[in-house]
Amino acid sequence: MLRVAIAASALFLVSFSQGVAGFQSWSVDKEEDPFSGGQSVTIDFMSSLRSGVFLLCDTAKPGLVVRAIPGFDYDSRLDSFTPTVKFAFDGKLLFDVEGETASVGNNLASSQVTLEPDKAKQFVEAFAAAKKQIAIDDGIADKPHLLSARGSTAAGQAIVACIGKQS
């Protein structure tokens, strides 16, 4: 009986740890994009199954897309809303920009900005240098995304390299 309980506990822990892999830390995905001719780099931080932040870079296109998904359903009242998105790294406000709202996935609300090359460079350098916290106020949720910098070193190197390869 004791062996069955230990085996069941071990199986639960293994399946649980695989289920939360990738949550609460930054992860990187790089792919060659045959349509743009460049390399697509996606950085993400999943806070839950319905919420997170994505950084989207393509070496063939200038700039950086930052998409925040707070986790609630999209509502048509967001159609004409222009959010002010703010970025802070280790407690210091970097800048804020106007964004746009959209529906992503299974009708989840999102706030998105496309950072022009100069702002994108500032953002990725601050992101790569972050030691404790990366904070994004998406302008549509009642609280900001307060994200750990865990995993941002490798992710930061990838996104800095992507921005550096843009023409």
CATH, residue 119? 2.60.40.1880
Distance CA 82, CA 101 (A): 7
Domain tally, the chain: 1
Q: Which two tokens stand for residue 53?
A: 């932040």
Query: Does 10 reside within a domain?
Result: no
Residue 121 CA, chain-centre distance (Å), reads: 16
Segment 43-67 shows an average pLDDT of 95
Structural domain including 65 reads 23-165
Indicate the pLDDT class of residue 9, thresholds 50, 70 and 90. very low
Query: Does 118 reside within a domain?
Result: yes
The string of pLDDT tens digits covering residues 57-86 is 999 999 999 999 999 999 998 998 999 999
Query: Does 16 reside within a domain?
Result: no
Query: Does 123 reside within a domain?
Result: yes
Distance CA 46, CA 51 (A): 6
pLDDT value of residue 91: 96
Segment 27-44 shows an average pLDDT of 93
pLDDT value of residue 150: 86
Query: Does 110 reside within a domain?
Result: yes
Query: Does 18 reside within a domain?
Result: no
The string of pLDDT tens digits covering residues 140-158 is 999 999 999 988 788 999 9
Query: Does 160 reside within a domain?
Result: yes
- Exposed, middle or buried, 97 (CB in 10 Å: 0-12/13-18/19+)? middle
Query: Does 125 reside within a domain?
Result: yes
State which of 14-18, 19-23, 25-29, 95-99 shows the largest mean pLDDT. 95-99
Q: Which of 19-28, 50-59, 70-79 has the lowest mean pLDDT?
A: 19-28
pLDDT value of residue 164: 95
Judge whether residue 3 has pLDDT over 70: no
Q: Which long-range contacts (CB under 8 A, 24 or more apart) does 39-44 make?
A: 39/162, 39/165, 41/158, 41/159, 41/161, 41/162, 43/155, 43/158, 43/159
Which amino acid is located at 63 in the chain? G
pLDDT value of residue 19: 42
Tokens 């964004």 belong to residue:
99
Q: In this prediction, what percent of the chain has a pLDDT beyond 90?
A: 75
